[in-house]
A = this chain, B = another copy of it.
Amino acid sequence: MSCKVVLAQGISASYREELKNTIKSRNIRPKLVGFLANEDPAAAKYAEWTAKTCAETGVEFELRTCARNDLEDKIIEANQDAGVHGIMVYYPVFGDRQDQYLQNVVDVSKDVEGLHHKYVYNMYHNIRFLDEAKTKKCIIPCTPLGLVKVMEYVGVYNGILPHGNRLHGRVVTIINRSEIVGRPLAALLANDGARVYSVDINGIQEFHRGVGLQLKKHEVTETTLKVEDVLPLSDVVITGVPSPSYKVPSNLIRDGAVCINFSTFKNFDGEEIKKKAAIYVPAVGKVTVAMLERNLVRLYDYQNQDRAASA
């Protein structure tokens, strides 16, 4: 067994250090408000991590709890409060399409999670800047962005290739096609050159950008492939199945694969996967929080630029 287990703590360290230095040297105090309107222990745990990381890096974090039916009004209040620079919500709240409605209620200028339609649309269309002058980079949904950073850290991105093509030749399977993580991640990786098999209970879609089409957006095609077909082909297997009983069949994983789990449940059997994988990342939460803070600092700057421009 020569599997290297890589922990989110280590992956996120350089980002946290950078954030800490930026905030300290610029002497700024960006404020993030998190809304907790459910009783999901995973959400509460994520909120704890957020608070802890923010305290370390110098971000002011305020957790606001409320009944789910009051959440919309509370978000609007925070939208209008110039003292709040970033807003995040611990989902699921209603657990259905009403959550997606709420994602669009968060003002686009304060959306640290990058879940507003504008950001999601830009990401799918590989539009990387908010303005024509290209001074403001788009916010990227933070869990997919965190997963990209994990993949950079463990060497899946090839730094020798040009930006936007650093996954050329990689085959990635993603088991999860949610609108919050799985589908945007598939698009991001395909936009960077990978061939991606996106798996959900209804079947497998292939996301790819085509040969030589650098910086154009990816295409999606339906396939009749099964998990048994795509896992043995995959250099990288990323899972996010929200169930304690689901386990990826380790026997189908290719020798030397990179295996990354972003579910709060352990989708890989820890002992079995170490016999097959070259690299195993059992969780990514801390990287996600670092990306959240990174987005916050970016939005803080945009808000100040806008205020200066309109003054």
Which residues from chain A sit less than 8 Å from chain B, CB to CB? 67, 69, 72, 96-98, 100-101, 104-105, 117, 120-121, 124, 178-179, 183, 205, 219-222
Contacts and interface: CB of A to CB of B under 8 A. Distances in A.
A179 B124 CA distance: 23
Nearest to A220: B69
Count of identical protomers in the assembly: 2
A108 B244 CA distance: 41
A97 B98 contact: no
B100 A121 contact: no
16 contacts: A69-B205, A69-B220, A69-B222, A97-B97, A97-B100, A97-B178, A98-B179, A98-B183, A100-B100, A100-B179, A101-B117, A101-B120, A101-B121, A101-B179, A104-B117, A104-B121
A39 to B, nearest CB: 13
A223 to B, nearest CB: 11
Contacts of A179: 96-98, 100-101
Contacts of A117: 101, 104, 117
Contacts of A121: 101, 104-105
Nearest to A205: B69
A117 B72 CA distance: 14
Nearest to A98: B179
A175 to B, nearest CB: 16
Given A101-B121, A117-B117, 6 more contacts: A72-B124, A96-B179, A97-B179, A98-B179, A101-B120, A104-B121
A93 B184 CA distance: 18
Nearest to A222: B69
Contacts of A98: 179, 183
Contacts of A124: 72
Contacts of A183: 98
Contacts of A101: 100, 117, 120-121, 179
10 residue pairs, one from A and one from B, having the closest CB atoms = A97-B179, A104-B117, A69-B220, A100-B100, A97-B100, A98-B179, A101-B179, A117-B117, A97-B97, A69-B221
A68 to B, nearest CB: 8
Nearest to A99: B97
